[in-house]
């Protein structure tokens, strides 16, 4: 019996690489769509197709013979100025993926959305999956475009023989951070001794990429067509996250904790100006501060009940992320838990 082919976009991303390993672990014949070759795929048994989600013809070639498509490619942007590019990749790219799936007779599309598509509920109310998504009530180009794309994918379910399922991870952490995520940048700064403080406010919901990968694969196999599944962990304060980094490194957590007013009114605006001049991405912006202060109490009950999803602790994920960074980049080796215990 011929095995069914899976094709995925976004394989060079943090979650994408973890999903690729998950597919290979489950003996799924897999083809990845990439713009150019990368050494990170050396030794991994998968086909490679070359193209881009903004190029419909390249998608059609990549999706030939596919039974399932995992669409993870997207653009995350927290600084202003790239709204048109974000829209082109996240919305137009997703529309191209749906069109290519239909043209190639793909049976199932699994789309990776985000919990950023949810408007924060007041207080600490638990947030669960929605039946529709409205970009006009959200803040920021990333959230708006992911919401529009999510609704487009849901609307495509059941059309031209295509079934669609949506997964929505929270803030992803863990190993395989080749491209250096914003959280990964903070971890690296901590390992280098450049992040000697914590914060007395704020928090977010973090999830390990390996749990997201397992949940995404489970959604393809068990998920109900036309449904969304939140793939998150438990809410974690910024201070608890910093303590998790300290614990993983065998260090004492910072005693100095910066307050909200100082960070929001002084640190964030200064970082925005500096990084605008240097054309970089700031670690902290006024938008990211608002996100840290908003409700992040998401529920993964639906994914747990229907997909068997169960996330690991933030402590374990942070420890594994630090070990991976040390092993692969040799950053902060003198702080590693392994050396301190040797």
Q: Is residue 283 part of a domain?
A: no
Distance CA 76, CA 33 (A): 19
- The number of domains in the chain is 1
Task: Report the run of H or E that residue 290 belongs to, with start and end.
Answer: helix 286-293
Angle made by CA atoms 337, 238, 235, in degrees to the nearest 5: 100
pLDDT in tens, 227-265: 999 999 988 999 999 999 999 988 888 888 988 888 888
Q: Is residue 337 over pLDDT 50?
A: no
- Which residue's entry shows tokens 């957590």? 253
Beta strands 171-173 and 198-199, pairing class: unpaired
Confidence (pLDDT) at 197: 86
Tokens of 183: 């959280």
Q: Residue 295 to residues 116, 174, 236, 238: CA-CA distances in angstroms?
A: 11, 23, 11, 13
Distance CA 308, CA 305 (A): 6
Q: Is residue 187 part of a domain?
A: no
Q: Is residue 129 part of a domain?
A: yes
Tokens of 241: 């996250």
Distance CA 107, CA 121 (A): 35
Confidence (pLDDT) at 335: 43
Q: Is residue 168 part of a domain?
A: yes
Q: Is residue 342 over pLDDT 80?
A: no
Distance from the Cα of residue 34 to its chain's centroid: 18
Q: Is residue 84 part of a domain?
A: yes
Name the residue with higher pLDDT: 230 or 81: 230
Cβ(138)–Cβ(119) below 8 Å: yes
Q: Is residue 185 part of a domain?
A: no
Q: Domain of 21?
A: 5-180+204-237+296-315
Distance CA 8, CA 19 (A): 9
Q: Is residue 12 part of a domain?
A: yes
Confidence (pLDDT) at 1: 52
User: In the predicted model, what is the mean pLDDT of residues 82-86?
Assistant: 91
283 contact partners, CB below 8 Å, separation of at least 6: 182, 185, 186, 189, 271
pLDDT in tens, 97-133: 999 999 999 999 999 999 999 998 888 899 999 999 9
Q: What is the mean pLDDT of the chain?
A: 90
Distance from the Cα of residue 197 to its chain's centroid: 25
Which of 270, 302, 305, 274 shows the shortest CA–CA distance to 286? 270
Which of the residue ranges 13-17, 30-34, 164-168, 325-329 would you say has the lowest mean pLDDT? 325-329
Residue 9: which pLDDT band, with cuts at 50, 70 and 90? very high
Q: Is residue 162 over pLDDT 70?
A: yes
Q: Is residue 323 over pLDDT 60?
A: yes
Q: Is residue 257 part of a domain?
A: no
pLDDT in tens, 33-77: 999 999 999 999 999 999 999 999 999 999 999 999 999 999 987
CATH number of the domain encompassing residue 42: 3.40.50.720
Residue 2: which pLDDT band, with cuts at 50, 70 and 90? low
Distance CA 209, CA 18 (A): 6
Cβ(133)–Cβ(195) below 8 Å: no
């Amino acid at each position: 019996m011929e095995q069914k082919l899976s094709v995925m976009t976004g394989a060079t991303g943090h979650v994408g690489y973890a999903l690729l390993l998950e597919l290979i672990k489950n003996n799924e014949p897999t083809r990845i769509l990439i713009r150019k070759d990368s050494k990170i795929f050396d030794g991994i048994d998968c086909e490679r197709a070359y193209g881009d989600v903004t190029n419909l013809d390249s998608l059609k070639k990549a999706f030939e013979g596919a039974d399932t498509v995992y669409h993870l490619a997207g653009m995350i942007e927290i600084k202003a100025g790239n709204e048109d590019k974000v829209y082109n990749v996240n919305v137009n790219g997703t529309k191209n993926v749906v069109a290519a799936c239909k043209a190639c007779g793909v049976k199932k599309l699994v789309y990776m959305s985000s919990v950023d598509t949810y408007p924060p509920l007041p207080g600490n109310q638990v947030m669960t999956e929605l039946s529709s998504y409205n970009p006009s009530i959200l803040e920021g180009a990333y959230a708006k475009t992911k919401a529009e794309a999510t609704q487009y994918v849901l609307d495509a379910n059941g059309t031209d023989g295509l079934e669609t399922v949506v997964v929505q991870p929270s803030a992803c952490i863990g190993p395989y951070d080749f491209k250096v995520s914003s959280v990964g940048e903070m971890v690296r700064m901590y390992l280098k001794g450049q992040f000697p403080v914590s914060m007395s406010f704020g928090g977010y919901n973090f999830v390990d990429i390996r749990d997201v990968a397992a949940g995404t694969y489970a959604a393809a196999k068990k998920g109900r067509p036309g449904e969304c599944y939140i793939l998150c962990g438990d809410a974690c304060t910024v201070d608890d996250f910093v303590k998790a980094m300290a614990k993983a490194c065998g260090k004492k957590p910072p005693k100095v904790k910066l307050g909200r007013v100082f960070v929001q009114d002084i640190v964030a605006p200064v970082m925005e100006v500096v990084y605008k001049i240097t054309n970089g991405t700031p670690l902290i912006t006024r938008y990211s501060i608002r996100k840290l202060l908003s409700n992040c109490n998401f529920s993964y009950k639906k994914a747990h009940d229907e997909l068997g999803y169960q996330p690991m602790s933030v402590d374990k994920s942070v420890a594994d992320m630090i070990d991976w960074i040390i092993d692969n980049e040799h950053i902060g080796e003198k702080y590693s838990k392994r050396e301190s215990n040797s």
